[in-house]
Amino acid sequence: MLQTKKIRVLIVDDSIFFRKALIDNLSKFKNIEVIGYAINAYDAKNKIPSLKPDVVTLDVEMPGMNGIDFLKQLMKEYPVPVLLVSSLNLSVFDALSAGAVDFVRKPDMTSGNNFNIFISELYRKITISSNAKVRLNHTAASTAMHNILAHNFSPSKLKLDTMIIAIGASTGGTEATLSILKQLPENIPGIVVTQHMPPGFTKMYAERLDRICKITVKEAKNGDKVLPGQALIAPGDKQMKVVKVGTHYTVSCLDGEKVSGHKPSVDVLFNSVADAAGPNAIGVILTGMGRDGASGLLKMRQKGAYTIGQNKETCVVYGMPMVAYNIGAVCIQSACENISDLILEKLK
């Protein structure tokens, strides 16, 4: 009987207690081998080339060299999938920008149940990360052409009021969504985004995007209007739907069951956009593991929407866009850096 190759994991954390907890619990999984640990970034930098891990779990906040500087060096010298294990902190997004694949929120160690949920999530994301494509930070090659398109973009008032853009993403999606939104001009139809992300982080993510992008970006609240020049990010642990009220769109952000394994779910968003906007919508499915969003995007396309899937070459994990493409949900596949141009061209 063939034995599946184990995922070799290196744990980097300065806390003796937390390191031991991770080693003890991850070692219980048959397909994971904890090959060692590092007490700080310098220690990790010395050990990674010889240990050759498949995945590194990294605490962002450590004494000495911080996780961000470490990541920037590591990605140049020894690119390896890095999974952040962090508390609620803005530095997570800087680390993702520096090349980390994904993150898991550190648990409240006083609750055994919270820790068990954390270990399950960590295990799931280690498995995903082991197959992820390490993304080196780069500047989009189409910037010059894009600037011309964005500068000359002038949609009619009808399109601004009736069109809606829906984006869904998971692993690797924080940076992919950012790369699209920061290229869009202020006079763009309203945008709704579902990114798989826990509560707390969605608000910080929206605030970060708002600082970088020309458009306004905010975490959605139940009843918010979908307005031109604004993107609404689905709040963590809520299901966000788009509803048409009279001549405008609003969002409902309510508790509910997980759909396609997620809350927020891309399928929930895309299905609602298909019903509310029909052909007056553009759907974009980005990097991520699994199939969340694929069936919803298919429904959007069947209702006449223009649908875009991120291509394999630029995905951190070519899962969700692959399933969407395979079931016929995607009108066109594209490199991430060209998706904003496709949106602008379609809205002309």
Asked whether residue 136 is assigned to any structural domain, the reply reads: no
CATH number of the domain encompassing residue 336:
3.40.50.180
Instruction: Report the CATH number at residue 72.
Output: 3.40.50.2300
Sort residue 169 into left (φ over 0), alpha (ψ -120 to 50) or beta.
beta
* Per-residue model confidence (pLDDT) at position 255: 94
First to last CA, the chain: 58
Best CA proximity match to 149, nearest among 178, 187, 176, 175: 187
Is 321 a domain residue? yes
* Predicted pLDDT of residue 111: 60
Residues 120 and 42 grouped into a single domain = yes
Which residue, 106, 129, 152, sits at the end of a domain? 129
Total domain count for the chain?
Answer: 2
Q: Are the C-beta atoms of 165 and 192 separated by less than 8 Å? A: yes
Whether residue 117 is found in the same domain as residue 165: no
What per-residue confidence (pLDDT) applies to 141?
A: 44
Do 308 and 177 have their domain in common? yes
Are residue 190 and residue 107 in the same domain, yes or no? no
Q: Give the SS3 label for residue 67.
A: helix
- In this structure, the answer to whether residues 200 and 277 fall within a common structural domain is yes
Adjacent-strand bridge partners of 225: 250
Percent over 90 (pLDDT), the chain: 80
Domain of residue 18: give its range. 7-129
- Mean of pLDDT over the chain: 91
| CB of 259 closer than 8 Å to CB of 265 | yes
Q: Which structure tokens are listed for 10? A: 């290196």
Is 137 within a domain? Answer: no
pLDDT one-digit tens code per residue, 244-255: 999 899 999 999
**298 belongs to a structural domain:** yes
Does pTM surpass 0.95? no
- Which segments of the chain have a pLDDT < 70? 1-3, 109-112, 136-149, 151
1 domain-assigned: no
**Cβ–Cβ under 8 Å, residues 327 and 293:** no
Do 162 and 308 belong to one domain? Answer: yes
Report yes or no on 185 lying in a domain. Answer: yes
Active site residues: 170, 196, 292
Question: Are residues 87 and 161 both part of a single domain?
Answer: no
Query: Residues 39, 157: one domain?
Result: no
Predicted local confidence at residue 96, as pLDDT: 93
